[in-house]
A and B are shown apart, each in its own frame.
Chain A
């Protein structure tokens, strides 16, 4: 599974999260720091498991379980897909 941004979506990498702009509609979507980091990893070809491990490493010990991290990442992807901000090739 290769995750990609469609041609009409642009993302800046910000220190405290990110904003996605849908250039076809003019809508802006805010994504928080963890979400932006996960999205960046997935776009670079990381698996959900790898992104989950990175997410856990960034948080305080015990703050999130491995299952919880994967569930969060799937939820994020579902939201991004629903908003047509990412496509799978």
Chain B
């Protein structure tokens, strides 16, 4: 879990415009996180639309912005954090792989995003989680490149 110190440090490095967009997506994510998993998935598939995959640095930037503006997303609110990160990516015209998964012994459930085949800003513990629900980028899209 993040400490207040790292939270403020991250907050200072996120541009004002990105912070504003992140606040909007966090508000939407907190509302969405109250719905059933099936309902969340349906909404995310519609929101994703035709968006192609996020690069790792894009998804990482989105996650850092979300964590910078929301105590819940900085803490234990992995579902809201993952949704907000994906929504913020979508505002940038791309989509990460959004996942909900679980592990056994001990039981745990988690939500996270992946880009370029890697979980974004997750610790080593993530390897124990097996995906149960996934919303991928548009299947036929290619990774966009920096010009």
Chain A residues at the B interface, C-beta cutoff of 8 Å: 8, 10-14, 16-19, 21, 23-26, 28, 30
Contacts and interface: CB of A to CB of B under 8 A. Distances in A.
Contact of B130 (A12, A23, A25): A12
Nearest to A8: B38
A11 to B, nearest CB: 8
Interface of B: 36-38, 41, 100-105, 107, 109, 130-133
Given A21-B100, A23-B38, A28 B130 contact: no
B105 A16 contact: yes
Given A13-B130, A19-B109, 5 more contacts: A12-B102, A16-B104, A17-B105, A19-B132, A23-B41
A73 to B, nearest CB: 20
18 contacts: A11-B132, A12-B102, A12-B132, A13-B130, A17-B104, A17-B105, A19-B103, A19-B132, A21-B37, A21-B100, A23-B36, A23-B37, A23-B41, A23-B133, A24-B37, A26-B37, A28-B102, A30-B107
B41 to A, nearest CB: 7
A18 B133 contact: no
B37 A19 contact: no
B104 A30 contact: yes
Q: Is the interface of B mostly helix, strand, loop or mixed?
A: strand
Given A26-B36, A26-B37, A21 B132 contact: yes
Contacts of B41: 23
A28 B38 contact: no
Contacts of A19: 102-104, 107, 109, 130, 132
A17 B128 CA distance: 12
B137 to A, nearest CB: 20
A16 B132 CA distance: 16
Nearest to B79: A26
A14 B130 contact: yes
Contacts of B107: 19, 28, 30
A21 B102 CA distance: 9
B107 to A, nearest CB: 5
Nearest to A19: B102
B132 A25 contact: no
